[in-house]
Amino acid sequence: MAALPEEVKQAWDNRDGAVVLTTTSPKGWPNSIYATCVSLFDDKIIVADNYFAKTRENIQSGGKMASVLFITKEGKAYQIKGTIEYYTTGPVFDNMKSWNPEKHPGHAAAAVCIEMIYSGSEKLL
């Protein structure tokens, strides 16, 4: 897993709206969702599983790859690609519970472990 470059950390802090999380089934079928309950933790993108259905199914059935797409307030797009992990206990889960709004169930924390980063067609990592 790679560390998040400072440019991307700043862009993350300046993102506009929801992110798009894409997972794949073991057969490679993609599924994309909008996610608003997100954070950085330990150089991973954390997405709270509040209402996952197909996303949870993809992860639990063995889909290993994911991407997170977000845009900054200035309109610059970033895509982070990597493997996905799913936590129902432990430090990543506890971190998610600390910022996830209480009105949402927070069943688990999905963590995208960063392997590649793009801004447009430019590969940053």
Contact 74, 105 (CB under 8 A): no
In a domain, 115, yes or no: yes
Nearest to 92 by CA among 56, 48, 123: 48
Give the model confidence (pLDDT) of 33-61 as tens digits. 999 999 999 999 999 999 999 999 999 99
Q: How many domains does the chain have?
A: 1
* DSSP state at residue 111: E
Q: Is residue 1 part of a domain?
A: no
Task: Assign residue 18 the CATH number of its domain.
Answer: 2.30.110.10
What string of pLDDT tens digits covers the 125 residues of the chain? 778 899 999 999 999 999 999 999 989 999 999 999 999 999 999 999 999 999 999 999 998 999 999 999 999 999 999 999 999 999 999 999 999 999 999 999 999 999 999 999 999 99
Q: In terms of residue numbers, what domain contains 95?
A: 6-123
Contacts of 50 (CB under 8 A, 6+ apart): 37, 100, 104, 105, 106, 107
In a domain, 61, yes or no: yes
